Amino acid sequence: MTESDTISRQPMGSRRFGRINWLGLYTLSRREIMRFMAVWQQTIFAPLMTAGLFVIVFSVALGRGDREIMGLPYLAFLGPGILMMSVIQNSFANTSSSIVSSKMQGNIVDTLMPPLSGGEILAGYLIGAVARAGLVAVVIGAGMALLLGQLPEHPVIAVAFVVLGALLMGGLGLLGGILAQKFDQMAAISNFIVTPLSFLSGTFYSIEALPPFFRAISHANPIFYLIDGARFGFTGVSDASPVLGFVVCLLVVIAVCTLAWWLLRSGYRLKP
pLDDT in tens, 122-164: 999 999 999 999 999 999 999 889 888 889 999 999 999 999 9
pLDDT in tens, 236-254: 999 999 999 999 999 999 9
Question: Does 144 reside within a domain?
Answer: yes
Cα-Cα-Cα-Cα dihedral sign, residues 105, 132, 187, 124? positive
Question: Does 168 reside within a domain?
Answer: yes
Provide the 3-class DSSP secondary structure of residue 114.
Answer: coil
Question: Does 7 reside within a domain?
Answer: no
Helix H or strand E segment including 3: helix 3-8
Q: Band the pLDDT of 15: cuts 50, 70, 90.
A: very low
What DSSP state is assigned to residue 68?
E
Question: Does 4 reside within a domain?
Answer: no
Q: What is the pLDDT of residue 6?
A: 39
Q: Answer yes or no: pTM beyond 0.85.
A: yes
pLDDT of 63 above 60: no
Q: Is 226 exposed, middle or buried (0-12, 13-18, 19+ CB in 10 A)?
A: buried
Q: What residues contact 98, with CB distance under 8 A and at least 6 apart?
A: 32, 35, 125, 128, 177
Domain boundaries, position 193: 19-62+69-266
In terms of Cα–Cα distance, which of 160, 28, 162, 178 is closest to 91? 162
% of the chain at pLDDT higher than 90: 51
Alpha-carbon radius of gyration of the chain:
20
CA distance 95 to 264: 13
Find which of 16-20, 53-57, 228-232 is predicted with most confidence, using mean pLDDT.
228-232
Question: Does 75 reside within a domain?
Answer: yes
In the predicted model, what is the mean pLDDT of the chain? 87
Under 8 Å between Cβ of 193 and 179: no
Specify the number of domains making up the chain.
1
CA distance 139 to 136: 5
pLDDT in tens, 152-211: 999 999 999 999 999 999 999 999 999 998 888 888 888 888 888 888 888 888 888 888
Question: Does 103 reside within a domain?
Answer: yes
Q: What is the pLDDT of residue 67?
A: 75
Question: Does 5 reside within a domain?
Answer: no
Question: Does 159 reside within a domain?
Answer: yes
% of the chain at pLDDT higher than 70: 90
Other CB atoms within 10 A of residue 112 CB:
15
pLDDT of 12 above 70: no
